[in-house]
Amino acid sequence: MDSVNGMIEISALSKAFGPIEVLRSVDLTVGRGRVLAIVGPNGAGKTTLIKSILGLTHPDAGRISIDGAMIGGDDAYRARIGYMPQIGRFPENLSALDLFAMLKDLRGGTAVVDEELIDRFCIRDQLAKPLRVLSGGTKQKVNAALAFLFSPELFILDEPTAGLDPLSSSILKDAILALRSAGKTFVLTSHVMSELEELADDVAFLLNGKMLFVGALDDLKKITHQVTLERAVASLMTPAVAGPTR
């Protein structure tokens, strides 16, 4: 993390669901204009971390600030975030156009609309149909288009390419890289390491709610003496290597 004043700054974030500690004093800084990949096995706390940033989950302790402003209380900060949930499930009887109009309404009419992804996905002819008749892949494209629609500063994408065909997945990745060059910040999760390797500048590795590594992708490979992210992450999960990094 080179940037002193990150887009997202998280310190000592903890959250427990009953007896299960999902996040244990997590620290994380996401630099402006960078792509951060959160990796870790299932149940490591990735989704809880993302939902804490979005304010969907209330942390037990710790601080989160977005662009220098602490979150909590005020909801206005979410206007600068584009969120793509893991699964796009929408009201069955509405069309994608209704959905776009609804979110546009909720964000106030002034939002600048970026429909580039809709055109690149070639889904314009599907937008007027009720969402219940759309295929899973098309719904996922609508889900992605929603996150990109309001030209946010910060994108939070939870497994963005899951359920997309290779072509659509490349279109989405290109869009991410193009916006990154334009100075936007991304937080991604994915289980496809090769994909993260293509996109990510930085990696945050979560295991059992603890942040075991945060840093540049290249540093991670250097520390673990591995050439691919997949190998590097696998070797992090063995305690001998995980120890000295934190």
Partner 1 sequence: MSTLLKVLKYQARDAIRSQWLIAYGIFFAIVAEGLLRFGGDPVKAQLSLINVVLLVVPLVAIVFGTVYLYNAREFVELLLAQPLKRRQLYGGLYLGLTIPLIVVFTIGIGLPFAVRGLDLSSWSALAALLGGGIVLTCVFSGLATLIAVRFEDRLRGLGVAIGAWLLLTVIYDGFVLFVLAAFSSYPLERVTLGLMMANPIDIVRLALLLRFDGAAMMGYTGAVFLKFFDGPAGVIVTLAALTLWVSLPIALGVRTFSRKDF
Q: Under the rule (CB under 8 A), what is the footprint of partner 1? A: 15, 17, 51, 54-58, 75-79, 81, 83, 85, 87-94, 98-99, 101-103, 105-107, 130, 146, 156
Cα-based distances in Å from 109 to 76, 79, 121, 178: 14, 12, 25, 26
Q: Measuring CA to CA, which residue among 63, 149, 57 is closest to residue 100? A: 149
- Supply the minimum distance, in Å, between the C-beta of residue 198 and partner 1: 26
- Supply the minimum distance, in Å, between the C-beta of residue 22 and partner 1: 10
88 versus 213: smaller Cβ distance to partner 1: 88
162 versus 242: smaller Cβ distance to partner 1: 162
Q: What is the CA radius of gyration of the chain?
A: 18
The C-alpha torsion from 86 through 89 and 94 to 98, rounded to 10°, is -20
87 versus 237: smaller Cβ distance to partner 1: 87
154 versus 203: smaller Cβ distance to partner 1: 154
Element (H, E) at 21: strand 20-30
- Supply the minimum distance, in Å, between the C-beta of residue 91 and partner 1: 4
- Supply the minimum distance, in Å, between the C-beta of residue 191 and partner 1: 20
DSSP 31: -
